[in-house]
Amino acid sequence: AGPGTLDRSLKATRAGGTVALLGALTGRQGTVTTGLILMKRLRVCGIMVDSRAAFEAMNRFIAEKRIRPVIDRTFPFDRLVDALRCLEVGEHFGKIVVHVREDG
């Protein structure tokens, strides 16, 4: 989650779950429904990847815990303009993926 999508992430997280606030692609400020955090007993943790060592440690943690990204939509490379439009509108929840090349 980023500051601009934190509230949506809180709503989507199960009771007792954790939301990781990573980076600031959607800006540095956002609104937070604190009542939702309390009622669902959520944990919010901030992650700042400011060094190569921190980045590698984060990637190890992601692999060990088998954390998978939420993917909203995928596009082939020849529809890059559509993918960018989807991103610009900002109504997606999760990642927008563009396949650069076909495997095989």
> CA angle at residue 5 from 32 to 2, to 5 degrees?
95
The CA–CA distances, whole Å, from 84 to 41, 61, 62, 102 equal 35, 30, 27, 20
User: What CATH number does residue 34 fall under?
Assistant: 3.40.50.720
Reported as a single tens digit per residue, the pLDDT across 7-55 is 888 888 999 999 888 765 555 666 777 899 999 999 998 877 778 888 8
Half-sphere exposure of 27 (CA within 13 A, CB side): 8
CB 2 within 8 A of CB 21: yes
Do 9 and 59 reside in the same domain of the chain?
Answer: yes
CA–centroid distance for 15 within its chain: 18
Q: Are residues 92 and 59 part of one domain?
A: no
Do 18 and 55 share a domain, yes or no? Answer: yes
Same domain, 61 and 23: yes
Say if residue 52 is in the same domain as residue 18.
yes
Whether residues 74 and 98 fall in one domain = yes
Percent with pLDDT over 90 in the chain: 34
56 shares a domain with 80:
no
State pLDDT tens for residues 41-52. Answer: 999 988 777 788
22 & 53 share domain: yes
CA distances from 89 to 1, 31, 84 (A): 17, 19, 9
Do 52 and 86 fall within a single domain? no
Find the helix or strand (DSSP H, E) in which 21 lies.
strand 18-22
Q: What is the pTM of this model?
A: 0.50
Return the pLDDT at 1. 56
Domain span at residue 96 reads: 69-104
Number of domains the chain is built from: 2
Does residue 46 share a domain with residue 83?
no
Model confidence at 104: pLDDT above 80: no
The yes-or-no verdict on residue 78 having pLDDT over 90 is yes
